[in-house]
Amino acid sequence: SSSGTHTFTNTYLSGSSYNVSIQSIPAGYTCSISNNSGTFTDNVSNVRVDCLRLVTISPADSTFLGVSQPIVLTFTKPMTGCAVDTTATPAASNFGSDVGSAVLSTTNTTNDTLTLTPTTTWSNGAGRFIQLVNCQTVDGTVPAISIRIQYFVGSNAAYVSPTGADVGACGSIATACLTINYAITRLQSLGTCAGSQDCAVLVANGTYTLTGTSITLSNGISLQGSYATDFSSRFPSQRSSVITGTGGACSVGQCLVVSPLGVAATTAFSGFTVMGDQSGGANTGGMEVSGGLSITNNRIDGGNGTLNRSALNITGVGAVAIANNRIEVSGNGAANAAALNITGGAVEVYLNQILTNGATTAAQALVMTGGSGSIYTNGIGNTGTAPTMLGFTIQATGNYRIYNNMIFSGDTSTPGGTAVALQLGALFTGDIFNNFIIGSSTSSTGICIQENLAIPAVVDLVSNDVLGCSTALLEDAGGVQYTSICSAVGTPAAIGNFGTPGCAALYGNAGLKNNMSIDPLFANSASGDFHYTASSPCTVAQGGVDPTTYGVIVIWPDGDFTARPGADGFYSIGIYEPQLGCL
């Protein structure tokens, strides 16, 4: 129940053995145990448990850090070490090199407090982090720990709360304003945010209801939601600042949040639930991005339109980073549903859930009709049902890398309905690799990959696991259906090219190679658990290609933030690296 030396409360026979383990470690603690096994020859009174906890971080992790403000960490024990890792990635977000001093001092016990101060000022912007390594107790009883602290670093902040009032500058917790748009205008009035990119609107938990006017973002003014009501902490993954109501006009009809042209990608939007326009009109949406933006840790819905619902629309020419969001059309009452529409821009789409819950005519999870960029480590597909179900549709001529995703069509229950996991309808460039492409085994027409135009010869479609389709693994632009994996004409194989039944003919594009159709034996796919198990075939779990082969410079972690390649040295197919080995 606490750190220190422990004794056995029961009596045991001399010569019997013991092995003591820690059954439960309190949240936030790191614990070690010593003298925990042996043979009883006398009373045992030296089984020792030692635990360490980082008690406080000020400012709290994931909150706002002033450019000159010190960072103070307090532990439960005297500490040593805690070196700043200036090499931790991603390098562009690491501001560890700004640390001018790291000083241990006493709060509750000797050397239990570490204070970091900048040489001059901290580098500003969203998503900045410092990584501390080898934080060790002075007595060496607890293994060294690493700590990563992330901040929005800036000079100017405006506070928003459901109990605030739209008066004054909103520049303190006590003078928080009521609406997000009012806070944006107060920061705009400073005249410095667009150039410095160091202004932020800090939004407390609660519901913010719009009445006919969208929230319009401004260059250099980031929106940071999910603060505690007293702004002492922030948990962006809870997405507890809710934007709802009726918005203003955008290209899809009415939507709640707009990022116009001129907004740079260094402007951030994080920690919100955007419910989508609730007007009940024909066409509704959640967010529209015409400029650049960094969109992280949000839930974005498509509203309650009757004809078209779209959660997130990327329409401009700017750079847009989309990470760790749930982007969805949650109801199936519209004729057409599309969770994410990309018609322009340079996009990075990483670690998102991109989903529709069906529609009365057609449901499409991700639709690309323009732009360029990379789409990786996402879950992309449809739940619910519609007469036409399309998981991922590419109608763009740009250059894309699409890899390590889970792409699925979902099932249509409509007689004669069509379900397609990946539909290719434009002469794009780029590469598609290391994906699960899963179709429908129950739909009247279930196709994993469907061409509307022949896949360009410059496109490599490599090391994908293509399975679960009632009609074809691949249907080409001429309507020929390929149902087999083949190493040569007449030779079925586990890995190879796509072939017609019996491998009588092969698909002609040399860029399609090393694909497979093998059950990965997920942990529990029915409940959405797509982790590998110890029984998963190594052909799949270790069957991915090295992303650097196709020009990927930075290889981001998997869906569990495990490094790629995994501990086995291989790259997997899909969102996760295997943790339990494979067969």
Cα distances from 558 to residues 19, 148, 485, 544, 574, in angstroms, run: 35, 18, 27, 13, 9
pTM for the model: 0.91
Same domain, 46 and 61: no
| Measured distance CA(26)–CA(39) in Å, rounded | 29
Residue 441 lies in a domain: no
What was the pLDDT predicted at 141? 84
Whether 90 and 118 map to the same domain: the answer is yes
Could you tell me if 123 and 140 lie in one domain? yes
Q: What is the largest CA-CA distance in the chain?
A: 83
Tokens at residue 508, please? 């002609």
H helix count then E strand count, the chain? 3, 51
Indicate the residue among 154, 171, 201 that finishes a domain: 154
Task: Say how far apart CA 574 and CA 375 lie, in whole Å.
Answer: 12
CB 297 within 8 A of CB 270: yes
Taking the C-alpha atoms of residue 133 and residue 453, their distance in angstroms, rounded to an integer, is 52
Q: Tell me the three state secondary structure of residue 98.
A: helix
Element housing 430 (H / E): strand 429-433
Look at phi and psi of residue 434 and say left if phi exceeds 0, alpha if psi is from -120 to 50, else beta.
left
Q: Using H for helix, E for strand and C for coil, what is the string for 103-133?
A: EEECCCCCCCEEEEEECCCCCCEEEEEEEEE
Domain count, the chain: 2
515 to 382, 421, 542: CA distances (angstroms): 23, 15, 13
* pLDDT tens digits for range 358-381: 999 999 999 999 999 999 999 999
Q: What is the number of other CB atoms lying within 10 angstroms of the CB of residue 370?
A: 18
Report if residue 304 sits inside a domain.
no
H/E run at residue 180: helix 180-188
**Whether the Cβ atoms of residue 482 and residue 499 lie closer than 8 Å to each other:** yes
Phi, psi of 419, rounded to the nearest 5 degrees? -125, 120
List the CATH number of the domain containing 86.
Answer: 2.60.40
In this structure, are residues 393 and 368 in contact, taking their beta carbons and an 8 Å threshold? yes
- What number of other Cβ atoms are within 10 A of residue 64's Cβ? 21
Shared-domain flag, residues 46 and 62: no
Same domain, 62 and 149: yes
Instruction: Looking at the structure, tell me whether residues 35 and 62 fall in a common domain.
Output: no
Is residue 235 situated within a structural domain?
no
Residue 452 DSSP symbol? S
Residue 59: is the preceding peptide bond cis (ω within 30°)? yes
**Residue 420 belongs to some domain of the structure:** no
Compute the radius of gyration of the chain from its Cα atoms. 27
Tally of residues, the chain = 583
- The residue segments making up the domain with residue 139 are 56-154
State whether 68 and 8 are in the same domain.
no
Q: Tell me the torsion sign for CA atoms 38, 40, 46, 49.
A: positive
Residue 146 inside a domain? The answer is yes
In what helix (H) or strand (E) does residue 56 lie, and over which residues does it extend? Answer: strand 47-58
The whole-number pLDDT of residue 554 equals 87
Contact at 8 Å (CB) between 573 and 436?
Answer: yes
Write down which residue in 154, 184, 217 finishes a domain.
Answer: 154
User: In the β-sheet with 268-270, what is the strand arrangement from edge to edge?
Assistant: 156-160, 199-204, 221-227, 268-270, 293-296, 319-323, 346-350, 372-376, 399-403, 429-433, 460-462, 512-513
- Cα distances (Å, whole numbers) of residue 471 to 442, 492, 494: 10, 18, 19
Is residue 484 within 8 Å of residue 503, measured between CB atoms?
yes
Residue 116 located in a structural domain: yes
Among 154, 189, 209, the domain boundary falls at 154
> 60 with 150, same domain?
yes
Question: Are residues 24 and 100 located together in one domain of the fold?
Answer: no
- DSSP 8-state class, residue 414: S
Q: How far is the C-alpha of 132 from the C-alpha of 112, rounded, in Å?
A: 15
Question: CA-to-CA distance for 329 and 409, rounded, in angstroms?
Answer: 15
pLDDT tens across 220-245, in order? 999 999 999 999 999 999 999 999 99
pLDDT beneath 50: ranges in the chain: none
Closest-CA residue to 183 (of 204, 206, 211, 152): 204
Tell whether 47 is covered by a domain: yes
Residue (of 481, 500, 475) closest to 490 by Cα position: 500
